[in-house]
Chain A
Amino acid sequence: MFGAFSTNHLIYLLDGLLWTVILSALAFILGGVAGFFVMLARISRFRWLRRVALVYIQIVQGTPLLIQMFILYFGLGVFGISVPPLAAAGLGMMVYTSSYLGEIWRGAVGSIAKTQFEAAECLGLTRWQALQDVILPQALKIATPPTVGFLVQLVKNTSLASVVGFLELTRAAQVINNSLFQPFLVFGVAAFFYFCVCYPLSAWSRSLERKLNVGRR
């Protein structure tokens, strides 16, 4: 009655998967850059800057990504900027990513002993030099497992871009399901695709954690 699931549908889903990966990569790169600045603001010497960053993080982490997507999508539209779905979705994901990565990285920097900062200062390094040559190389090691772990969240959350009409894997599955009405099969395949991307990342994050043994330092 509804037609069968064919190779064409599979290709359509794979195309959606490709866009999911593209959006994830975009969000990670843009969100990573923004997140780095969020981290810098969080450890700044200026109290007002730390406050601003904290408020930013609390707003972003205190509201659902879905609502952020809607605000960006309708908000930009209101100002007469017609946004292609990729831009709205990418921007939404960037904001979301920057707040989480900023906080993860601040935690990593914060876990470096304060004496390291002081020693760098004694050696006459500027604050920026100390950060670049002493703190960040050490923090990078600690930050890697949770960052990879966050990537899983990121890939999964790109599925919410479907609500602003961005044709990624979830949207593709919805479109196919609307014509076939075989939800178990269609969403099962979509879930399997997500799993294929996310599970290796989860496993990688776990093995990194074990190798670094961050929990028992």
Chain B
Amino acid sequence: MHYQFDFGALLPYWQSFLSGALTTIEITVFSVIIGLGIGIACAIARRSQVAVLRAVVGVYIEAVRNTPFIVQIFFIFFGLSSVGIRMPIIAASVFAMVINVGAYTAEIVRAGMDSIHPSQIEAAQALGLSKFQIYRDIIMLPAIERVYPSLSSQFILMMLATSICSQISAEELTGVANNIQSNTFRSLETYFVVALLYIAITYLMRAAFFGLGLIAFPRRRRLGLGV
């Protein structure tokens, strides 16, 4: 009944914790960057004039958003290896994450694009801006600026979701914790330490997104709006 907490037993493993945290950050950074690209592409495709393209992207988005990540990652990792495609675990993790981030980002960015008033686009056309310029300067940038807070909190949620990659034995923070707790039998302490590290990464990401927002959206900064 009287449980003696012993965090000292974990000290020899501090490097493993750190490398796990770094792997978590790496997976997150890669999947967010690639996923953001895919998400923006899908958001544009969702408004395309080609009905087939709209439908395909719609199915992708709904399929990903309405099934659990753990099932998706099992489907991809075990599925691909069953047909002979063997991927490194980290690559499979990033792949599954990218598919996920892409779908969620697409929905958020689309909401932002829908919030751009058509008269803005008409005004840009009247000024003789090219289609590409309109998409970049009139639709995309202001749209992303508007949904930036939801985007950044979605990316933080995705960082937390990388913990699920431990289930295909990726050596990220949770995976490392699973190893350490089975070596030391100090499961509770291990998971407490890891929980703290996750909270630290969450704050780190919030700070990073805040800074990034200041750089990316100078207009918001000048208007004194929060990012």
Contact = CB atoms under 8 A, between A and B. Distances in A.
Interface of A: 58-59, 61-68, 70-71, 74-75, 78-80, 152, 156-157, 159-160, 162-163, 170, 173-174, 177, 181-184, 187-188, 190-191, 194-195, 198-199, 202
Interface in B140-169: 160-161, 163-164, 166-167
A63 B71 contact: no
A58 B83 CA distance: 42
B119 interface: no
B69 interface: yes
A191 B72 CA distance: 8
Nearest to A198: B66
A159 B70 contact: yes
Contacts of B74: 170, 173-174, 177, 183, 187
A183 B82 contact: yes
Interface of B: 1, 3, 62-63, 65-72, 74-75, 78-79, 81-83, 160-161, 163-164, 166-167, 174, 177, 181, 187-188, 191-192, 194-195, 198-199, 202-203
A14 B191 CA distance: 33
Contacts of A184: 75, 79, 82-83
Given A79-B1, A160-B164, A184-B79, A70 B187 contact: yes
Contacts of B188: 71, 74-75, 78
B108 to A, nearest CB: 13
A159 B1 contact: no
B191 A187 contact: no
A170 B72 CA distance: 11
Contact of B75 (A59, A152, A187): A187
24 contacts: A62-B160, A62-B199, A63-B160, A63-B195, A66-B166, A67-B163, A67-B177, A67-B194, A67-B195, A68-B195, A74-B181, A78-B187, A79-B3, A80-B1, A152-B66, A156-B66, A157-B68, A159-B71, A170-B71, A174-B74, A184-B82, A184-B83, A191-B68, A198-B67
B75 A195 contact: no
Given A80-B1, A174-B74, A184-B75, A159 B68 contact: yes
B107 to A, nearest CB: 10
B71 A191 contact: yes
B69 A156 contact: yes
